[in-house]
Amino acid sequence: MANETSNKIVVIGAGNVGETICYTLMLRAQVGEIVLVDLNEDRAKGAALDISHGTAYYSQVRVRQGGYEECADAKIIIVTAGVPRKPGQTRLELAKVNTGVARSIAKNIMKYAKNPLIIVVSNPVDVNTYLIQKETGLPKERVIGTGTSLDTARFRYLLGERVKVDIRDIQGYILGEHGDTQVPIWSSVNVAGETIDHFLPADEKEKEQVKEQIAMKAKTGGADVISLKGATFDGIAMSTFRIVESILKNQNTVLPVAHVLGQEYGESLEGSCISIPCVVNEEGIAKTIKITMTDEERQQVEHSAEVLKAFIGDVMKED
């Protein structure tokens, strides 16, 4: 693996999400340089300067503003630029605004970078991940969407609150779309190896009600934060850092992230861009993990993929 101090990360978009990701990387990632790229150069310069002032107390990473030419030798490029989601607006509605931004960014990246590894954060992340992969022509394993990594984090947080157990001892995933059709895979949720059902009410009706409540809170978590503070950026910054860390340290971590699927999950999901458990390392997505699902869960994941496929098809027709 390359020397950690020689790694450079480029963050495209210096809004709340981009700046918070940059700050989180400065605190926790062992990199030599972080470059913020934004059409609003003053915003990027100001964010870089503000973060740089705190480096005396942490790692000696260089944080600065730059242009797309910085992508030429970047270890990782993180795309956060786009119009933020408004209260009550779905991620799919937001796509009509942000897909053009994503394509423009992809073209600018490829003017300088030969085989970049791109992490897509900007919403709707599944649609943007698909479009950026197609626009760049990069191998599908090198364009990674944060996908349901944050939804899964919210899910595990809620489960931990419910059963009063350390989140690190809870395993479980939300897969599919990062949005309205996401699917909690209850059949694989466990607490230290013990099925989650042992920690929920014995009465089946009550148990299902608890599951529905937790799943709904996980789904609406982003909207809840937006309604309270206007935007979400802390949680996604930490989710993004976890992906970056696995890449930089070649950890082979299993994470629920989005990429354009091949035949890993069969013809029904081929060509879709949804989140499934993937092994992430320094090359990007090394492989996918076929976790066990019930027939109903599998059908729900396939439905999620179909919804996204149909929407992407409509977007492509409008061009």
What are the extents of the domains in the chain?
A: 4-145, 149-317
Cα–Cα dist 311/289, whole Å = 26
Q: Is the previous residue joined to 124 through a cis bond, with omega within 30 degrees of 0?
A: yes
Flag whether 143 is marked binding.
no
Domain at 149-317, CATH from 3.90.110.10, 3.30.930.10, 3.10.450.710, 3.40.50.300: 3.90.110.10
Residue 155 CB coordination number (10 Å): 26
Q: What is the pLDDT of residue 267?
A: 83
Flag whether 112 is marked binding.
no
Tell me the average pLDDT across 29-48.
94
Tell me the average pLDDT across 267-289.
94
Flag whether 292 is marked binding.
no
**pLDDT band per the 50, 70, 90 thresholds, residue 314:** confident
Q: Which of 258, 295, 7, 11 has its CA nearest to residue 130? A: 258
Q: Strands (DSSP E) along 38-82, which ranges?
A: 62-65, 76-79
Q: Compute the mean pLDDT over every residue in the chain, rounded to the nearest whole number.
A: 92
Residue 276 has pLDDT above 50, yes or no: yes
303 annotated active-site? no
Residue 53 has pLDDT above 70, yes or no: yes
232 vs 318, which has greater pLDDT?
232
- Beta partners for 12? 37, 79
Residue 168 has pLDDT above 50, yes or no: yes
Predicted TM-score of the model (pTM) = 0.93
Residue 297 CB coordination number (10 Å): 19
The predicted-structure confidence for 74-104, as pLDDT tens digits, reads as follows: 999 999 988 766 777 765 677 777 888 899 9
Flag whether 121 is marked binding.
yes
**pLDDT band per the 50, 70, 90 thresholds, residue 2:** very low
Cα–Cα dist 311/319, whole Å = 13
Q: What is the pLDDT of residue 233?
A: 93
Question: Can you read off the two tokens belonging to residue 133?
Answer: 């992969």
Flag whether 123 is marked binding.
yes
3-class SS at 115?
Answer: coil
Question: CB–CB of 138/71 below 8 Å?
Answer: no
Residue 5 has pLDDT above 50, yes or no: no
Q: Which of 217, 35, 244 has its CA nearest to residue 121? A: 244
Q: What is the pLDDT of residue 319?
A: 56
Flag whether 85 is marked binding.
yes
126 vs 268, which has greater pLDDT?
126
Cα–Cα dist 118/13, whole Å = 14
Cα–Cα dist 171/158, whole Å = 12
Establish how many alpha carbons lie within 13 A of residue 248's alpha carbon, considering only the half-sphere containing its beta carbon.
24
3-class SS at 101?
Answer: helix
Q: Which of 40, 11, 236, 12 has its CA nearest to residue 104? A: 12
Q: What is the pLDDT of residue 1?
A: 38
Residue 165 has pLDDT above 90, yes or no: yes
CATH class of 4-145: alpha beta
Q: What is the pLDDT of residue 229?
A: 92
Over pLDDT 70: what percentage of the chain? 95
Q: What is the pLDDT of residue 4?
A: 47
Catalytic residue selected from 178, 198, 259, 303: 178
Flag whether 187 is marked binding.
no
Question: CB–CB of 181/305 below 8 Å?
Answer: no
Q: What is the pLDDT of residue 315?
A: 74
Flag whether 91 is marked binding.
yes
59 vs 127, which has greater pLDDT?
127
Q: What is the pLDDT of residue 51?
A: 95
Flag whether 202 is marked binding.
no
Greatest Cα-to-Cα distance within the chain, rounded to the nearest angstrom:
60
Q: What is the pLDDT of residue 90?
A: 67
Question: Can you read off the two tokens belonging to residue 139?
Answer: 């191998």
Question: Can you read off the two tokens belonging to residue 254?
Answer: 């299993």
